[in-house]
Amino acid sequence: MEGGSVVQVGDPHEIARNPATDYVRAFFRGVDLTRHLTVGDIARTDQVPIFPVPSNIPDEFGAAIEHLRSIKRHYGFLVDPAHRLIGVVSIDSLLRCLGQSRPDLAGALLDHVPALAGASPFREVWAGRQKSAPVPGDRRQGDLHGGRDPDHSARAPVR
């Protein structure tokens, strides 16, 4: 309520995630939202590029490296045709793979980046996350919805 008028109706989780006005937003300023958010709340499709599994590894991984560099990102997600997460790659892992005598998909995947269910509490993920890896999340019916890149989300979200 503001000045006797209802400004927004909803549960605290929804209001914190989507404040209707600057007044409501100010109400949550300084509140540690990591206590209330889930991985699904923060997963975004613009944080980490999503690439299909390549049919021609040298050409497509080379193009992926150039794309990552052009948008100033270090990580990408590989997905199958059904949009299920296959794994996470980095510019470094793609370059290492291409440097092999017989480049293969497994050689490009980072092995220390687990996919997380969208309902996972963000606070637990943030506290235990690897600082050098993205957080793939919000897997709905096995589909990758998005993620967070540590290079572009250095702090936990606090409104």
Residues 109-156: pLDDT tens digits?
988 776 666 677 777 666 655 455 565 554 454 455 455 555 554 433
Question: Which is more confident, 99 or 79?
Answer: 99
Mean pLDDT for 38-58 is 80
Could you report the per-residue pLDDT of 49-84, keeping only the tens digit for each? 889 999 999 999 999 999 999 999 888 888 888 888
- Whole-angstrom Cα distance, residue 87 to residue 111? 8
- pLDDT the model gives residue 77: 87
The pLDDT confidence band at residue 108, using thresholds 50, 70 and 90, is very high
Sequence spans of domains, the chain: 1-31, 39-152
Mean pLDDT for 25-33 is 79
Task: Please tell me the least confidently modeled range out of 4-13, 28-37, 83-92, 127-136.
Answer: 127-136
- pLDDT the model gives residue 126: 62
Assess whether pLDDT exceeds 90 at residue 10. no
Pick the CATH number of 39-152 from 3.10.580.10, 3.30.559.10, 2.60.40.10, 3.40.50.300: 3.10.580.10
